[in-house]
């Protein structure tokens, strides 16, 4: 348990150091006039790009509704796949998927911590 806390503390320190360096980097960028000019031009181009994309999406509205439905189906199926794999693992069965090219896939399980 102590090693777990030590590694967690070390990770927290490393993240803080990364944050400090990123902040210094951003400060340097903000102070660079050439960089700011390029950012302004880039933002103008992004706005033009977004307008074109919106026009085309409006023309293809029915297809985009199908796309959204497909996305939801994939999210639901991914969750179902994870649940089924975990249930197989817990019951002691081998967890493996084989695609049409006889390529085998094994699950990767991970543990994450969140604040409580």
* Residue located via tokens 């794999």: 85
Q: Would you kindly state where each structural domain of the chain is located, as residue ranges?
A: 1-59, 61-116
pLDDT exceeds cutoff 70 at 69: yes
Long-range CB pairs of 12-19, under 8 A, 24+ apart, other chains included: none
Mean pLDDT of the chain: 93
- The pLDDT score that the predictor gives to residue 76 is 96
Which residues have C-beta within 8 Å of that of residue 57, sequence separation ≥ 6? 64
Which residues have C-beta within 8 Å of that of residue 29, sequence separation ≥ 6? 35
CA atoms within 13 A of residue 33's CA, in its CB half-sphere: 0
Q: How confident is the model at residue 47 (pLDDT cuts 50, 70, 90)?
A: very high
- The pLDDT score that the predictor gives to residue 21 is 98
pLDDT tens-place string over residues 8-39: 999 999 999 999 999 999 999 999 999 999 99
């Amino acid at each position: 348990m102590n090693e777990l806390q030590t590694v967690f503390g070390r990770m927290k320190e490393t993240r803080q150091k990364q944050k400090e360096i990123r902040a210094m980097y951003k400060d340097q960028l903000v102070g660079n006039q050439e960089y700011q000019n390029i950012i302004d031009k880039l933002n103008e181009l992004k706005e033009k790009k977004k307008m074109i994309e919106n026009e085309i999406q409006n023309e293809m509205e029915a297809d985009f509704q199908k796309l959204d439905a497909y996305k939801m189906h994939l999210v639901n199926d991914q969750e179902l796949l994870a649940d089924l794999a975990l249930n197989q693992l817990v019951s002691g069965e081998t967890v493996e998927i084989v695609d049409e090219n006889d390529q085998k896939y094994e699950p990767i399980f991970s543990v994450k911590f969140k604040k409580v």
